Amino acid sequence: MINVAPIGGGVEIAYAVTGEGPPLVLMHGAEADHTQYAALTSHLAGRFTYIAYDQRDSGQTRNPEAPYGIEALADDAAALIAALGHQRAHVFGSSLGSVIAQALAVRHPGRVDRLVLSAAIRIGKSIAEINPEAAATLGRLRADPAANAARIAGWFYPEAHLAAHPELARRFGGGTRTPAQRARRNPLIPEAPLLDLGGITAPTLVLAQAEDRLVPPAHTLAIAEEIPGARTTLLEGLGHVGTIQAPERIAAAITPFLLGG
């Protein structure tokens, strides 16, 4: 069931809560909404209270038609954790969600218990900087996303997985957001501030996917070098959206860490 939390400034966050146990906030990627985590939560059943929410200009969340940045999205997440009655929560962020999660851990350290960054982009870096070929190609393909959805999806999932699940390409056809919404979200990663990750105090696990064509695994793993005590895991065979491709493997990778192991 979808709930709505007004958090101020005209922002109403749509979210779903399931499960029992310590709260775990799930932050979706740029092309997604909270349903990115439907399969993952089923593989984490009985371990956590899952809070999967829609960011601004995503899913059923409502927000003013004004520009915003990564820091505003981090503040939204902190406000949602508080609105749901939690002092702090575990946080899992994938892709753009990982950038928001980094900002949350820096800006609101008291709200983050344990932090997982998956297919992560270092906050303050853009896809054009870390993978110029992907940025240039996707820029051309996104000029007509409806016609190029399958080719766009190929940057997010391994070829064999897409062949077995061609329906995944529909997410990239441009129909899930209006042009105005896309215009507000497109600058989020390239215009994010270069925050100091050395101040992150939450125990952190950095997950890289070995077949990630969009974010080079080496870039993701290098983030851990900036966060005191961070651990790393490289998942073989997974593309950028491992939470959908193989949620059982993501669950197996993060559960011991989130339980304090």
Q: Which residues form the domain of 60?
A: 3-258
Whether 131 has a pLDDT exceeding 90, the answer reads yes
Dump pLDDT digits (tens) for 152-185: 999 999 999 999 999 999 889 877 799 999 999 9
* Whole-number pLDDT of residue 171: 86
Percentage of the residues of the chain whose pLDDT score is greater than 90: 93
* Whole-number pLDDT of residue 55: 99
Averaged pLDDT, 106-120 = 98
Beta 49-53 vs 112-118: how paired, if at all? unpaired
* Whole-number pLDDT of residue 44: 83
Averaged pLDDT, 48-53 = 96
State the CB neighbour count (10 A cutoff) for residue 187. Answer: 14
The total number of structural domains that make up the chain:
1
* Whole-number pLDDT of residue 173: 87
CA distance between the termini of the chain: 32
Averaged pLDDT, 4-25 = 96
Cα–Cα distance measured from residue 181 to residue 65, given in angstroms and rounded to the nearest whole number: 8
Domain of 192, CATH number, reads 3.40.50.1820
Contact 211, 239 (CB under 8 A): yes
Cα–Cα distance measured from residue 233 to residue 245, given in angstroms and rounded to the nearest whole number: 17
Cα–Cα distance measured from residue 143 to residue 161, given in angstroms and rounded to the nearest whole number: 25
* Whole-number pLDDT of residue 193: 96
* Whole-number pLDDT of residue 174: 78
What is the pLDDT of the chain when averaged over all its residues?
Answer: 96
Whether 106 has a pLDDT exceeding 90, the answer reads yes
* DSSP label at residue 62: B
Here the tokens at position 14 are 């749509």
